[in-house]
Amino acid sequence: MSSTLNLSTLRVMVTGGSGFLGSFVVEKLKERGCEQVIVPRSRERDLRVRGDVEKLFDETRPDVVIHLAAVVGGIGANRERPGEFFYDNLMMGAHAIDVARLRGVRKFVTVGTICAYPKHTPVPFREEDLWNGYPEETNAPYGLAKKVLLVQGQAYRAQYGMNISYLLPVNLYGPRDNFDPKSSHVIPALIKKCLEARDAGREEIEVWGTGTATREFLYVEDASEAIVLAAERYDGDEPVNIGSGSEISIRDLVGLLCRLTGFRGNVRWDATKPDGQPRRCLDVTRARRLFGFQASTSFEDGLRKTLEWYEAHRSRAAGA
């Protein structure tokens, strides 16, 4: 089912709107003429606290909510803070959805995670396979917390008729990403590592795992367009993959980044560290069919834009 909302006439709240993905979603909304975009700040209203969420909704009276707020990180951060990743993500989403229902919000878009998929999902990942196994262990608490929000949304649609939809974005990358090596994902972590090694004249970099795992990546501007399209056009209970539909091995990714950054040294693989999920690649036909989304940025072009941004902002980027 699809229905079209003219977002330019509505008050749109973007939780996590000052973050990496959120900042691009806010820009997409403003490009569409949205003059009433609400970006709550965690220092003012803690989404983990029910009372704060109620006050936020009462103060801002949103018509539409795009829920992006999340505690996220790479494999290392997920292994170190599994309890935090589970509790914080579950509570933020559960409170936001329930209060939105009680306040009569017209549309709620929940942005989940590819980490919700089972560890050995057949490639390409199809939404029908979402419940056919347990997620990859290193990020299962995060993935499951986000997956519970899908169940909540479907239950609220069934009982209360709530217009709530759920998206499953693949690994994102792009300008403004988190480059702090303690919590960053694979692309910003590798960019930072390659550039620092190049500039210091090092002969070698070390990379976690064996390099055999594959990943699919989506440029952040494409992801933000998909989210806004879903807010405008999609009213259904089926979870929807958001991705580019292609995969690359970590070994090939490292080779590509070495070339783009100009690092000419050797790569040493630390096989004692985890690879994470063996393969990740999405079937993206549902997003195209239901609300017309198709990624438009080539992977190499996206990487070049990310590199250009980071080199221009290294002194201010996290962990630089």
Q: Is 142 a catalytic residue?
A: yes
User: Tokens representing 266?
Assistant: 């050797």
Residues 6+ apart with CB under 8 A from 303: 173, 187, 256, 257, 260
Among 117, 134, 142, 160, the active-site one is: 142
Return phi, psi of residue 2, to 5°: -135, 145
**Angstrom distance (rounded) from CA 187 to CA 201:** 21
d(CA 212, CA 297): 25
The DSSP bridge partners found for residue 270 are 208
Q: Are strands 214-215 and 248-249 parallel, antiparallel or unpaired?
A: antiparallel
Count of alpha carbons within 13 angstroms of residue 128, beta-carbon side: 6
**Cis, bond preceding 124 (omega within 30 deg of 0):** yes
Active site residue ranges? 142
